[in-house]
Chain A
Amino acid sequence: MGGTQENIELLANQEYKYGFVTDIEQETVPPGLSEEVIRLISTKKNEPEWLTEWRLSAYRHWLKMKNPEWANIQFPPIDYQAISYYSAPKMKDGPKSIEEVDPKLLETYEKLGIPLRERGILAGVAVDAVFDSISVATTFKAKLAELGIIFGSFSEAVQNHPDLVRKYLGSVVPTTDNFYAALNSAVFTDGSFCYVPKGVRSPMELSTYFRINARATGQFERTLIIADEGAYVSYLEGCTAPMRDENQLHAAVVELIAHDNAQIKYSTIQNWYPGDKEGKGGIYNFVTKRGKCLGVNSKISWTQVETGSAITWKYPSCILQGDNSVGEFYSVALTNNYQQADTGTKMIHIGKNTKSTIVSKGISAGHGKNSYRGAVKILKGAAGARNYSQCDSLLIGDLCSAHTFPYLEVKNSTAQVEHEATTSKIGEDQIFYCQQRGVSQEDAISMIVNGFAKQVLRELPMEFAVEAQKLLGVSLEGSVG
């Protein structure tokens, strides 16, 4: 079977497909973090005074905070003064239409499989493209505006809809929430903003594609999505970054607000550069995502496929405040080589008859370390609350690990909480069985892993489910030898 071994090695050395760098003139502020830098960012973005102050208060609080150490991840201390907090491709005044966007940028997104030009555009998906610190283009904007849907960059929203931004910014994730959220609040540069008005159902998927390009920068995006009464929106984010030997920090904050009878479906395909097979380089993905089911019968559903990043620290959560509101978390987290992931969710049941579902699928290969961390809190007033949690781990090889840290806190005796967990190992016998039927080893692993993750993948919008399946296969190449 010498041939198999060679093939595996070949595949293991296969490069991360999105690891290229776009050669474009960028404006980057010198590394370092201070009130001055924050004011500079705020000025560059022509922000109102209240927002500058909001940033500064977050910064002052951050200075007093400590990096959280409870997560099951290891990394050397980050030098926050060595990071540049703003980097943007040079553009005159920001493009008015796609035609004005630098062709190099358009080309970059085309290479990533996200065409932004109207003719190549993904049918049925509106895309906001964020490149390092700024949004460079948003497609289908006008079409969405006809329905009253506001979708575009966060910076634009600050200019054009300051009241909405001011009303909701920090209402789900306060500036003081945690170390990385505080940092993000101080220095966030761009991200997406979406508002779906009363009774409107977004006719297409909205999405943001995040791209890190510049060296030694951090990406700190801020996304805010509001679904007003009876509104529905399905939103998807994707992300990639160049291959570099040094680690880069990505600390984002996402806030979702669902009013009465509103629904938000938020899907993530996270494919930041994971580092090389020795664990060198890669993105630190330290993200705070939280949704608030503010209104009655509202629903927020998180689906994430986490295959990239050197380290993922992320807990998309739901605050179930409105009666009968529903929170869901579907996750596939894959760690190969030396990747680490500590990810899960918090479901906080406040309203009556609130319901939450957690399905977490962790896949570990190589030296990967994969932890599920989840909290289910049922508060006193949450009569009739229900939670179902399932977390399964799949191990590939002998060097990886899977960990589960579930926390339950139930303060209402009428609540029902269920938790199921399994750990299994992908067997040589499974792979051989598939091979004996004519399926190659790589396809066999991909098939087995996709079977394991199916429950989560089927929650993804159709357009992306296929992409996610392929990604799982690619991310595992070379993991069995």
Chain B
Amino acid sequence: MEGLQPLRRGIGPQRLKPQFQRHEFGTVQTVPLQHLGTDFAIASRQKEQTVNPMLKITNLQVSAAQREILRGVDLEVKAGEVHAIMGPNGSGKSTLAQVLAGRDIYNITAGEVLYEGKNLLALKPEERARAGVFLAFQYPVEIPGVNNLYFLRAALNAQRKFRGEEEYDAMDFLELVSEKMKLLAMDSSFRERPVNVGYSGGEKKRNEVLQMAVLEPKLAILDETDSGLDIDALRVVADGVNALRRKDRAIIVVTHYQRLLNYIVPDFVHVLLHGRIVKSGGKELALELEEKGYSWLEGQLVGA
């Protein structure tokens, strides 16, 4: 039922092993993490070793239009970690991202998703956003007539209001955004332009990362943020994301090319194939996939 995650008990100084949880006869065993990723991950890992994961997906099964898309996904993500989810087109990567964000065109047929210990699937999309879940869209949506600055302020204030924090007034917000825009080398004209209308592919993706920078989520899911970017734009976007890596923030990068992972170096890589995570590993796994493609993993599905 679990798919074929290469789950090993972490013993000794092994590196780059994902932390998984697994149900065995009704009990939950957590695999301790010894491996270490980036420098700041060291600190967070040490501190978080006894802390519950931020996101815990158990046996998630999702279908749409009578078709099974996710067939039992298990994944754990802790604060401070960067996870990459790779897989070929149609493997269910974007579905997973959308389901986590609350898109309601999917049927969740089994499984559970806990976010900070609470049932994420019971929350409306805006409630998830306010709780700190952010999705950078693969295809950012155009909203004519609504300027970027207004949109962003409405979003941030909706979240702040929910958290009982003071809302930003126009002047303070302008200052905040201008600062974040510098980070992404965005022209100030972006503030007045309508949301995503007439943007190039690169501008749209940069705008997604700008929103992430302003909203400061706890869990950011980047869905194919590299698609449609040339190498310069890719670098800008990746730098932007890297600047947002923090020990109290988790990031899930969904992509089907290894290229992005040269810039946003993940702590863990998972391969999603036919709706299941069939292999997990460290950043090297991405390189292996680049070399061998996904087909070598197909065999592992036999008997699953």
Contact = CB atoms under 8 A, between A and B. Distances in A.
A330 to B, nearest CB: 14
Contacts of A438: 126, 129-130, 155-156, 158-159, 162, 215
Contacts of B103: 432
Nearest to A451: B145
Nearest to A392: B144
A448 B130 contact: no
B125 interface: yes
A433 interface: yes
Nearest to B163: A438
Contacts of B215: 437-438
Q: Which of A429, A433, A453 has the most CB of B within 10 A?
A: A433
Interface in B137-155: 137, 140-146, 151-152, 154-155
Q: Which secondary structure characterizes the binding site on chain A? A: helix
Contact of B129 (A1, A430, A435): A435
Nearest to B145: A451
Interface stretch (A223-231, A366-374, A439-447): A439-447
Nearest to A422: B144
A20 interface: no
A451 B141 CA distance: 14
A427 B126 CA distance: 17
A450 interface: yes
A439 B195 CA distance: 14
Contacts of A443: 154, 158
A450 B126 contact: no
A126 to B, nearest CB: 30
Contact of A4 (B124, B144, B156): B124
Given A432-B125, A451-B194, A437 B155 contact: yes
A436 B143 contact: no
A433 B143 contact: yes
Given A435-B124, A436-B129, A448 B146 contact: yes
Contact of B141 (A430, A447, A454, A455): A430
B211 interface: yes
A436 B135 contact: yes
A452 B197 CA distance: 12
B291 interface: no
A433 B204 CA distance: 13
B129 A452 contact: no
Given A429-B141, A437-B215, A451 B146 contact: yes
A206 to B, nearest CB: 29
Contacts of A433: 137, 140-141, 143
A434 interface: yes
Nearest to B221: A436
A452 B142 CA distance: 12
A430 B125 contact: no
Given A4-B104, A451-B145, A439 B158 contact: yes
Contacts of A68: none
A435 B146 contact: no
A435 B145 contact: no
A435 B141 contact: no
B53 interface: no
B210 to A, nearest CB: 12
B126 A441 contact: yes
Nearest to A457: B145
B124 A437 contact: no
A439 B162 CA distance: 10
Interface in A72-89: none
Q: Which of B129, B130, B144, B159 has the most CB of A within 10 A?
A: B144
A450 B141 contact: no
Interface in B152-173: 152, 154-156, 158-159, 162
Given A1-B104, A433-B137, A447-B151, A439 B143 contact: no
A7 B141 CA distance: 24
Interface of A: 1, 3-4, 427-430, 432-441, 443, 447-448, 450-455
Given A427-B141, A432-B141, A448-B143, 18 more contacts: A1-B104, A4-B104, A428-B105, A433-B141, A434-B155, A436-B128, A436-B135, A437-B155, A438-B129, A438-B156, A440-B126, A440-B158, A441-B124, A447-B151, A448-B146, A451-B145, A454-B145, A455-B145
14 contacts: A4-B104, A430-B141, A432-B141, A434-B155, A435-B126, A436-B125, A438-B126, A438-B155, A440-B126, A441-B124, A441-B126, A451-B144, A453-B145, A454-B145
Question: Nearest 10 pairs between A and B by C-beta?
Answer: A451-B145, A437-B155, A451-B146, A435-B125, A438-B129, A433-B141, A438-B159, A1-B104, A454-B145, A438-B158
